[in-house]
């Protein structure tokens, strides 16, 4: 059976367990633990066309979060963070891309079956490909329609939202599919206490009376690197920044 045409702007090579191999050869066994139980951690990183060549956005912080996520699910990454960062840069270089999206992923491979990962090797990969604005170019100029999801963000004592764990993204997928089916571009999820948490794939911000407000880490969000950057940039510009925890709640108009 012919494989469906990939909607991705594929690149030539993927870094997989230490080697740069052709895109089509970066494959996993169907009995990989990750496929059955969602045991992966990953990152989504942007690389921009900078003055001095490709510039990866806060690579060190993304690598740190990847290692943090792996630690949360008790998975040892068999490379140092410096080696992983180099793998990211090498993958961009070999694919000769000035601008791209990077997807590092670490996952449990095939070993014993069952939820307890026994003798499952840890595999690591980095794929890169050109990818435009996440919600489309028009979203940047026109804005988007969003809905409050009927799905609730997972409680803090379930899957930790601070770690970027593959299996947890089933919830984002459900929320996003619901939104798209109803004609919205994105969904915002509330936490188990009914407070604003985050979008299916992004943190949320609002500006009230010149004050930048974002949701706190305690509302079951991923500690976004963009969020951290926006907060720092706003503070640099003398803009007051608060999260909803310090403000109590989002103000009503």
Ligand X SMILES: Cc1ncc(COP(=O)(O)O)c(C=O)c1O
What is the total count of residues that contact ligand X (CB under 6 A)?
A: 11
- Among residues 21 and 230, whose Cβ is nearest to ligand X? 230
Does residue 226 interact with ligand X by CB under 6 A? yes
Taking the complex as a whole, the smallest distance from the CB of residue 120 to ligand X amounts, in Å, to: 25
CB nearer ligand X, residue 123 or residue 198: 198
Contact positions with ligand X (CB under 6 A) in 36-55: 44
| Near ligand X in 130-189, by CB under 6 A | 172
Q: How many other C-beta atoms are found inside a 10 Å radius of the C-beta of residue 14?
A: 24
Known catalytic residues are 164
Torsion, Cα of 68, 45, 192, 176 (10° steps): -140
CA–CA separation, 20 vs 42, rounded Å? 18
Here the tokens at position 136 are 């489309």
Q: Are 177 and 184 in contact (CB under 8 A)?
A: no
Out of 225, 231, 243, 244, name the contact with ligand X by CB under 6 A: 225
Element spanning 135, H or E = none
Binders in 185-224 for ligand X, by CB under 6 A: 198, 201-203, 222, 224
Residue closer to ligand X by CB (options 77, 204) is: 204
Contacts of 81 (CB under 8 A, 6+ apart): 60, 63, 64, 67
Binding site for ligand X (CB under 6 A): 44, 172, 198, 201-203, 222, 224-227
């Amino acid at each position: 059976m012919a494989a469906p045409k990939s909607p991705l702007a594929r690149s030539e090579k993927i870094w997989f367990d230490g080697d740069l191999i052709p895109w089509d050869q970066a494959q996993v066994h169907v009995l990989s633990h990750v496929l059955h139980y969602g045991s992966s951690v990953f990152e989504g990183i942007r690389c921009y066309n900078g003055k001095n060549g490709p510039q990866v956005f806060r690579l060190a912080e993304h690598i740190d979060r990847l290692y943090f996520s792996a630690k949360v699910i008790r998975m040892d990454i068999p490379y140092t963070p410096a080696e992983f960062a180099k793998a990211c840069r090498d993958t961009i270089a070999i694919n000769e891309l000035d601008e791209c999206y990077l997807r590092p992923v670490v996952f449990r491979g095939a070993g014993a079956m069952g939820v307890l990962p026994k003798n499952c090797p840890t595999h690591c990969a980095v794929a890169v490909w050109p990818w435009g604005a996440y919600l489309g170019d028009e979203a940047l100029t026109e804005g988007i329609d969003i809905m409050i999801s009927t799905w609730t963000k997972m409680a803090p004592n379930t899957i930790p939202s601070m770690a970027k764990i593959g299996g947890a993204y089933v919830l984002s997928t459900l929320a996003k599919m619901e939104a798209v089916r109803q004609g919205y571009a994105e969904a915002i999820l509330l936490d188990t206490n009914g407070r604003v948490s985050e979008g299916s794939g992004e943190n949320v911000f609002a500006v009230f009376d010149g004050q930048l407000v974002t949701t706190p880490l305690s509302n079951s969000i991923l500690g976004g690197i963009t969020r951290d950057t926006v907060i720092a940039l706003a503070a640099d510009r003398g803009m007051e920044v608060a999260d909803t925890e310090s403000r109590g709640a989002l103000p009503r108009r």
